[in-house]
Amino acid sequence: MGKHLIVFIINLYFLSDTKLLNYIKVASKLFQWGINLVRYDILVIGGGATGVFTALDLTLRGLNVALVERGMIASGTSGKFHGMLHSGARYATNDPDSAKECIQENQIISSIAPHSVIDTGGLFVAIEKPDLEFEETFIKGLKENGIPFKNVTKEDVLKLEPNINPGIKDAIWVPDKVVHAMDLIMSAALTAALNGATFYTFREVVDFIKINNKIEGVKVYNRIKDRLEEIDADIIINSAGPWSAKILSKAGIKFDMLPTLGAMGVINKKLNSHILNRMRPPSDGDIIVPYSDNISIVGTTASIIEDVDNASISQDDIDLLISEGSVMIPKIKELGFIRTYYSIRPLLKESTSNQITGRTATRTFSIFDHENDGLYGLLTISGGKLTTARLMGEKIGDYISNKINLKKDSKTRNIKLVDKIDKENAEYLSQITGLNYSFIKGIIDFIGSVDEERIRPFISMILTYGFGQVM
């Protein structure tokens, strides 16, 4: 609102009495409806991992970028995944493009955001005869996609993982890792904001602003202030994940997706040191992630759903996860889950075949320029997964840079994401978020406490919330 007031005062100074009265009437309406007087180069729709990394990438190229999110940052699919930073091994035999993307991004994310990654390593384990028969094909896929691996003997696996099924027949080590989504995404958001990006949280896109065949901005509902607002931009990027089709329908565009529900179960005990995968083609209930010192996550399923805002986990899903997970770690059947949750994958329908399923659909991503639908200034990026979100931001950054003849390369491969908020930044953060200086300094005081690692993502959440409430 401070920006609006300055513009308002400047205009008052130069207007005649008659024009002044008309201007006051117009300006009061703008403030009432929350119309933003700033026009952005880029507006990103969706505050998940892809949207945040897209905002970061384009901001670092020097563009004036805003991001709009209907909830808080990472409150959708990205904040509800299984916690695995893929090495690509899971896709080595059936989705080579995704496999190559994952091993590349595994290394980059580990470098730019080491505070969010735990290098557990992963073990693909052969428990039953079909698993063992798959091993040769699996190793061939690893080699073809450049994924490092090592054979591990049964004896060594039993020493490394005492809770594993003693009937294990063989295992292969790969560089799978645990990644804490909240740490990663909040760090990327904060890095973007500190470099000039604007975040509008709790804003739900309700319509597009269209002049002839050009998209000029969006109308959003501010869920905090209970009002409509308008945000203008030269280019709109739809990165709303599984909600992308709903967003595009507001522009009259039909967009085919395969929104796929993945159910996960949480066990209040760390059962394994490595991420465990069954040595077989990707299937249900074949991943166990040691997410933290006292939490293991068993996942996942892959059921195509109709309505992304009306989904639920069935008892069959829960029973399947326990049954399949206990093949790798028998204790799972005894312990059960303390809770279950789900995410919805934004998979793409790239085939007209009716045989495609939530398991066979590719995990790679695509960029769609809706000039092909007769609408200029609107693009969508969809598909992919959290592991490849940075790459998705880079690729759409490259596409837009080429489109507007911007001769600047992506910087997100090498930039170290902000992992701590220094007390010295409190005054600057107060200015750009609109939050009270003493309040910011107070929450920063948690840094250096016994719970610093636990509280850090919440500090970032509060600050990114503040970025979105200035308007």
Radius of gyration (Cα) for the chain, nearest Å?
24
Question: Chain-wide mean pLDDT for the chain?
Answer: 85
What is the distance of C-alpha 295 from the center of its chain?
A: 21
* pLDDT values of the chain reduced to their tens digit, one per residue, 471 residues: 444 434 434 443 444 444 444 434 343 333 344 555 679 999 999 999 999 999 999 999 999 999 999 988 888 888 888 999 999 999 999 889 999 999 999 999 999 999 999 999 999 999 999 999 999 999 999 999 999 999 999 999 999 999 999 999 999 999 999 999 988 998 898 899 889 898 898 899 999 999 999 999 999 999 988 999 999 999 999 999 999 999 999 999 999 888 889 999 999 999 999 999 999 998 899 999 999 889 999 988 988 888 988 889 999 999 999 999 999 999 999 999 999 999 998 887 764 444 554 434 455 788 999 999 999 999 999 988 999 999 999 999 999 999 999 999 999 999 999 876 666 667 767 776 667 778 777 777 776 777 776 666 666 666 656 555 544
DSSP code at position 243: G
Q: Which residue matches tokens 């001769």?
A: 407
Pairing relationship of beta strands 275-278 and 287-292 according to DSSP bridges:
antiparallel
| C-beta of residue 199 within 8 angstroms of C-beta of residue 42 | no
> For residue range 372-403, what is the model confidence (pLDDT) as tens digits?
999 999 999 998 899 999 999 999 999 999 99
Looking at the DSSP bridge assignments, the partners of residue 122 are 174, 275
- Tokens 């991004």 locate to 105
| Of residues 396, 394, 433, 428, the one with CA closest to residue 411 | 394
